[in-house]
Amino acid sequence: MSQQIPDADVPGNSTDPSPQTVPPLPEDTRTGPGGIPVLAVEVSRQWARVMTLLRKELGEATYQNWLCFVGCDGIEGGCALLTAPSRFKRDWIRSHLGDQMLKAWNNVNGQVLRLDFHVREAASAPPAANAGESHSSRAPAEARASASQPGSEYPAVGRAGQYGRIGAPLDPRFTFEDFVVGKSNEFAHAAARRIAESDAPPFNPLFLHGGVGLGKTHLMHAIAHAIRARRPERSVLYLSAEKFMYQFIKALRDKDTMPFKEALRSVDVLMVDDVQFIGGKGSTQEEFFHTFNALIDHQKQLVISADRSPSDLDGIEERIRSRLGWGLVADIHPTDYELRLGILQGKAELARRQMPDLDIAESVLEFLAHRISSNVRDVEGALTRVVAFATLVRRPITVDMAREVLQDLLRASERRITIDEIQRKAAEYFNIRLADMLSARRARAVARPRQVAMYLAKQLTARSLPEIGRKFGGRDHTTVIHAVRRIEQLRESDSAMNEDVEKLQRLLQG
């Protein structure tokens, strides 16, 4: 990943002139049912479009690591009021992504001329314009976690002294009870459970890795919750690598690193989330490594997460990388349909309990599980958005409505159809062997379906012609061009063929 963490800022060091409070929306916009501002619906739509544009332009990693934390409180006098959960995130996002964000706003609403970034008050309501966005679950969670339990905001306990506050808040919803286990995450889940139930480290460290939104943070918080419930005297510290660096650099600037080091080393369980961000900082890496070794030497449990395996962590020194892999490495795979449906059913049940009038048909959950990508965060976000919309316009939730509300998200996930999937479905549909998609056989009975699959790969994925050729048994890109042209012609002249292609396309798009 190219994204590098900048120097962490230190409170009081910011030159930010912007006011800390967000101007209120006009009174009449705040009177919607269930406390959801009505004006927010339009701003929310625009904001969703801005986010979709940015996500496409800046890529998934930047979106998940930074953008998804931004909320929009409204638009006032040509100025979009944006919020971020921390000063660090706000400053980073403003300086690195501000220009692109403004450009995206200009595309969506020409009247937005400026952006105003604020730090979201921990106790304030979730960003209104964001109510239906896929990333919204984060912000309220952070806000709730710190607002509802002010005394226990930082889970490092007791002995850590002033550095007791170096941890990050735990999300109360991220428990083992709320974690749905499926094929893709059962190993990671079992490993996490083992740690939560053991008094001595069963393996050290536990290194959890997997793509964004697949439940790494959820599992780490679940470990912390479980240990706190079972053995409250044990000190468990959870923090993000970003926070680790921030704290360490702050201690360095204050020329006072001892308490920080001692605080870290005095815990029984240390969990550091998203360590891919530790890359590139000599001194923080060094400190991380020493802490890591000291804890392992003292039989303290370490849990580390990253979006990739230890060996793929670039920017991290070789000796650290290899040491990270010494314990148990557990990866979380992308979810499958069953797991997504299970998660959606759980979330829908929760929503129904909170809003007894809510009417979510099972077919809607199936539709979402089928159509939204393998990332759980997106799946949850889609449901949140559909529910928010239904509550606002007071309509029952149907598949058609979900399709309408999620247009942009669905389009994004359509692009994620893979060539493997196309080959599988086409082979099934035309009743030929999957191996024949790649084979050199030229009999019409296999060659035609293969051409259809190549054509669909061109239409439904973003892969280049040479890439497609390679996936079809190492064929040349000119073969792919030929297939695409041939099927285009046939679709014109042969209605049965046209129907086959359309049916397959629908099958693939859900």
Q: Which residues bind ligand ADP (CB under 6 A)?
A: 137, 174, 178-180, 185, 210, 212-218, 343, 376-377, 380
Q: Output the smallest distance, CB 73 to ligand ADP, in A.
A: 22
- Shortest-Cβ-distance residue relative to Mg ion: 217
d(CA 82, CA 127): 9
Q: What distance, in Å, lies between the first and last C-alpha atoms of the chain?
A: 31
Q: Output the smallest distance, CB 64 to ligand ADP, in A.
A: 7
User: How many degrees, rounded to 5, is the angle at CA 298 between CA 293 and CA 299?
Assistant: 100
Q: Output the smallest distance, CB 278 to ligand ADP, in A.
A: 16
- Shortest-Cβ-distance residue relative to ligand ADP: 215
Which span sits near Mg ion by CB under 5 A: 88-96, 213-221, 418-426, 448-456?
A: 213-221
- Report CA torsion sign: 241, 243, 248, 252: positive
Q: Output the smallest distance, CB 220 to ligand ADP, in A.
A: 8
Q: Which tokens sit at 202?
A: 């069963």
Q: Side-chain half-sphere of 15: how many Cα atoms within 13 Å?
A: 1
Q: Which is nearer to ligand ADP, 44 or 217 (by Cβ)?
A: 217
Q: Output the smallest distance, CB 180 to ligand ADP, in A.
A: 4
Q: Which does 343 bind (CB under 5 to 8 A by kind): Mg ion, ligand ADP, none?
A: ligand ADP
Binding-site string for Mg ion from residue 136 to residue 155, where x marks contact by CB under 5 A and - marks none: --------------------
Q: Which is nearer to Mg ion, 69 or 430 (by Cβ)?
A: 69
Count of residues that bind Mg ion according to CB under 5 A: 2
Give, in order, the Cα–Cα distances in Å from 239 to each of 50, 144, 155, 416, 470.
30, 17, 9, 32, 43
Alpha helices in 158-253 (DSSP H): 186-197, 216-230, 241-253
Q: Which is nearer to ligand ADP, 74 or 210 (by Cβ)?
A: 210
Q: Which does 179 bind (CB under 5 to 8 A by kind): ligand ADP, Mg ion, none?
A: ligand ADP
Q: Footprint of Mg ion on residues 338-397 (CB under 5 A)?
A: none
Q: Output the smallest distance, CB 164 to ligand ADP, in A.
A: 24
- Report CA torsion sign: 358, 361, 364, 365: positive
Does position 276 interact with Mg ion (CB under 5 A)? The reply is: no
Q: Output the smallest distance, CB 217 to Mg ion, in A.
A: 3
d(CA 238, CA 478): 54
Q: Footprint of Mg ion on residues 214-233 (CB under 5 A)?
A: 216-217
d(CA 171, CA 156): 14
Question: Is 450 exposed, middle or buried, given 0-12, 13-18 or 19+ CB atoms closer than 10 A?
Answer: buried
Cβ atoms of 229 and 199 within 8 Å: the answer is no
Residues forming the site for Mg ion (CB under 5 A): 216-217
